[in-house]
Amino acid sequence: IDGMVRDVAYQGNSVDFWKACDGLGGAPTYELGGAFNCGKGQPQQVAPVSHGAVPARFRQINILNTAQESGKTTAENRRGNCNEGKLGQWA
């Protein structure tokens, strides 16, 4: 896998997940991403949020393909209609 992925989830526990990390990008690969809306509150609150990270490589992590296995389109999953899919494993 090269780059960001969409409509996936991993399955496992935190200890196994972080043990499977065998590579991190350096300072030049750091990217900041965010949104203009934090997505909470009633009525809706408008507050910019962001998170920064470097790319990471993980091996032998169980991945759920939420879009394909649920039978829903990518757009439907982004609206919050994501169902659990079958378990797969990417090396």
Cα-based distances in Å from 91 to 16, 17, 27, 57, 70 = 14, 13, 25, 10, 23
Q: What percent of the chain has pLDDT over 70?
A: 75
- Separation between Cα atoms, residue 50 and residue 41, nearest integer Å: 18
Residue 80: per-residue pLDDT: 42
The per-residue pLDDT for range 14-50, each reduced to its tens digit, is 999 999 999 999 999 999 988 888 778 788 888 888 9
